[in-house]
Each structure stands twice: as structure tokens, then as C-alpha cells.
Amino acid sequence: MLQSAPRVMVARIYQESHSFNPALTCVNDFSIERGDDLLELEVRSTSILSGILRRLQKEGAIITPALSAMARPGGPVEHSLFEQLKQEIVSVARRGGVDAIALELHGAMATDCLCDPEGDLLAALRKEVGKGVVIGVGLDLHAHVTDAMLQAADFCIACKTNPHADFPETGDKVAELVLAAVRGEAGPVTACARVPMLLPGALETGSGPLADLHARSRHWIRQHPSILDISICNTMTFLDVPNSGQTVLAVGDCDVETAAAAATEIAGLIWQRRFDFKVNLPSIDRVLNMVVAHPSRRPFVLGDQGDRVIAGTPGDDNAILRRLVERKLKLRAVVPITDPEAVRAATAAGIGAEVTLPVGGKLTPGLEPLVVNGKVVNLTDGRFKLRGPFMAGQTSSLGETAVIEAGRCTLLLTTLAGLTQDPAAFTSQGIDLSQQDLIVSKSGFHFKLSFEDIATPVVVGTPGLSLYKPGIVPFRAKRPIWPEDDVIFDAPKVKIFTQNYPKETPQSSSAIPTSSCTRAS
């Protein structure tokens, strides 16, 4: 039993990778903090790491900050950059003097030459600190959880909501379990069950099949005190890596059998309900008709499902803008579009200049630019802080930015793919959202949380790299997977992962007897 204050190293590398986004994520896309700046996340952010920090400080832990590197979703990370970030974190661990390491990782990051950088990072940390140091990890619900990650960490747990409203609570749970393990009050053992399937739709956890599955997880936890956590990871659909799919992680307190039974049952239920994950999004024209027909509900905020920057797309789709122009609707609209070339042209023209610009459709394969005439009304460096609740207080950037008034449409032209699920992306650039009839957000879920007090949310079935339909995405590494393929899947098999308990537990695949599932009945 530890007598002195626990010593915990904290770190974060957070980026979600879209394998088909042609633009690599580089150092300029990351917000990097160290030392006291990292520790201040505790008071100004709503991230998993902030939740970790608050709990550690509350418990009187001695905190060693390593590195926080956070980037918006996008293309794979430049491998040389990942190596630099990894080595910096490992070098802090190498100094020794810590009882535990608590990390925030997304869980679905890739580099241009590595499918599992997070597993690589965790393996390097474990090699450096040995078996005696506890390693706990907080993940995004859309993590692709690998064997390498689970072999190196004492436990990995994910947030439970989409849109993600429980990041701080997830961080709090990570710190709680880390401290319990350090003090000898818990012996985490993880049962992992995987299902070779993607979710075509119904991705929100507040309703539909995912709501039922999470309710079942909570039932297991209530009925079995030895279960510390159950996470259902729905994976990043557009991360094309081997062994992808749905993952259930049940963390037991020195209880392999119950954790395995829980993971087996919930994974089986995911497969049984696979046809319930349906998508039926309205078209652009249908939604525009809705905006026209219901002035009392304005402004509307339109989630651009096919070009979700928060799912890693370039953000250059102009489909909604194109229909607004073609239909000559008398609607005041603000539309964000990633277009570095148009930003440079507007900057060269200067504020007040009249410009004719081809905008959008230059980054995503298969799209075309749309020529617009307008006036440059603002030019900025694009820096702002997220309002939240998702990642509130986190610094973000649109890159060099130009605001163009083109008739009734206001264009937010950005150099970097912007996190426009947050109203601050617009208001920081001088755009008054209250004066709009509709606002386009490059998001499919999280914009609902951020805009709920100022606009009526609607998700639109737009084209682009983040609209998933079977047969249209050129997956290679992750196949076979349902519904891309006819997959034969009889029953989930469970792998057991543990660092300290029980010593003799093999880290190998074993089928858990079906009868063990009846314990939760």
C-alpha cells in the first residue's frame, strides 16, 4: 500500500485520422502545451486531460506534466512529427520518479507510415517504465483500440456519449482508477471483444440501439461491483487499418470471468442489432425548404454530414452554398469553406475590395469550385478559443481567414479545416449569428451541443468524405467488415489483458462459454 502522495505523469496526443483525406496533419495543425501551460488546462478546458488533472489535484497527487499535443481531425499525422512528440513524452518518463502515467489519447490516430501510433507510444512507455508503473488511458468513443494498446496499458476506458459531453467525467474516472491501482485498491483486468462491423447510421448514444447498449452496460456495472468500467468503442469509420470494427472493453477488478461475460454479451448484442443502425438523412433541398417554411425556427444550423471536419475531412465541400445560389433563395446564410487559395486572393485584394473567386471543391476528390462575387469584409489570423461544451477553452485555429459577403451569403473562408461545430469559430471572425437564417456547420453531431441555445439543428445528407454508405469508400486494410462484406460472425471471442493480476493469465484469445452470459440475467 502506497503511503506517500502518488506521483503521476500526465500527457496527451489527440488527433483523429481520416485515411482518405489527402492532406497530412503537420506541426502547424497542433496546439502544443508543456509545463505550467499544460497544468492550466485544469481550469480552462473540458477535455479528458482536464478531468484527469482535476481529480489528481483533488487527491493530492504530485503531477509531472510531459506534453499536450492536440490537433483537429484530419489526414494522417506526419510520422516524423509523431516520433518527435512520442520521444518527448518518453523522455519525461525516462527520468523516473513516478508511480503512474495518465494519458488522453484519441485512439484513432494514424501516421503516413504507421497504423497504430498510439499502441507504439504506449509500448515505448511500458518498455521505459517497466511493469511496476500504472498506465491508464482515456479515449474517445470512436477509438480503434488495438492489442498493442491493451498489452501496454493497465487499462483503457472511453467516453460514453456521442456527441461527446462527458470528456471531463471520463478523465476523472481515468485518474480514479489510476490512483486506486497505485494504492493497491484495485487490480484492473480488461476483457476485450471485437465485432467486425461498421455503423451505417444511428451513431448518437442518446437514442436508438446505442442508447440501449449503453444502458445494458450500466446494468452490468450496477449488478456486478467488480466491474470498474465498460466502454463501447464505435471506431473511426474512415480509418482504414486492419482489425477495425466495434470494440467492447470491460475492465474488472481482479475478476476475469465477469468482465469477459459482460464484454461477450454486449458485443453479441451489437452484432444482433446491426440492421438497426440505419441512416436516413434529408437532402439539401428538403432542408432548405424546411428553413423557408419555418421562419419562427430560424436560425437553423445545418450539420454538413458529408464534409465533417470533426470526422477528418478537408472542409471544402460547397454543396449547400451551390444550392443556395442556384435556387436564389432569399435566406441569410453563413457558410464555412476551407480554401487557402481563395483566402490568399482575398488577402491580396484587401478589406473592402470586390472580388470574384472560385471557392471550395479544390481539396476533396470529385468536387468542383463554385465561382462567387462578393466583398471582403474581414481578414484575420483565425485564432480562437472553443466555447464548448465539447473541448471548451481549448485553443483552435482556422488559419489565415477571410470573411466574404456574397449577396445574402457570408462566406467564412479558412486556410485550415475549421472546427465549426463551435459558434466561436464564427463569432471570433466578426460574424453575428443572430442575423442569419441558416448556419452551416462542418459537423454531424457535436454542433448540436454547441448551438442548442441559439439555433435549430438539422443534419443534412451532403456529399463528401464523411458520408458513409456501403460500397462507396475504397477500404482495403480493414476488410472484410460488415456491411461492406458478407461477414460470417458466429459469436464474439474475448481477449484478456492485464499487467499485474492474475500473473498467470495468458494474453491470448479464448472463447468465453455462452453460459457465462446468464450471470447478468
Cell numbers of 94, please? Answer: 525516462
- Does position 14 have pLDDT exceeding 50, yes or no? yes
With contact defined as beta carbons under 8 Å apart, do 370 and 325 qualify? yes
Q: pLDDT tens for residues 174-230?
A: 999 999 999 999 999 999 999 999 999 999 999 999 999 999 999 999 999 999 999
265: left (phi over 0), alpha (psi -120 to 50) or beta: alpha
Residue 141, Cα to own-chain centre: how many angstroms?
7
Quick one: cell of 518? 446468464
Tell me the pLDDT tens digit for each residue of 42-88: 767 889 999 999 999 999 999 999 999 999 999 999 999 999 999 99
pTM for the full predicted model = 0.90
Residues 421-440 have pLDDT tens digits of 999 999 999 999 999 999 99
Give the model's pLDDT for residue 501: 53
Ranges of each domain in the chain: 1-186, 188-279+510-521, 284-460
The residue-averaged pLDDT of 145-149 equals 98
More confident residue, 390 or 107: 107
Check residue 393 and give its pLDDT: 85
Q: Which amino acid makes up residue 514?
A: T
Long-range contacts of 32-36 (CB under 8 A, 24+ apart): 32/67, 32/68, 32/69, 32/70, 32/85, 33/67, 33/68, 34/65, 34/66, 34/67, 34/68, 35/65, 36/65
Confidence check: pLDDT of 519 > 50: no
pLDDT band at 391 (very low <50, low <70, confident <90, very high): confident
Sequence-ordered alpha helix ranges (H) in 162-255: 167-182, 208-223
The one-letter amino acid code at 484 reads E
What are 460-479's pLDDT values in tens digits?
A: 999 999 999 999 999 999 99
Q: Which CATH number fits domain 188-279+510-521: 2.30.30, 1.10.3470, 3.30.200, 3.30.310?
A: 3.30.310
Closest by Cα among 72, 77, 55 to 10: 55
Decide if 241 contacts 110 (C-beta within 8 A): yes
Homologous superfamily, domain 1-186: Response regulator (3.40.50.2300)
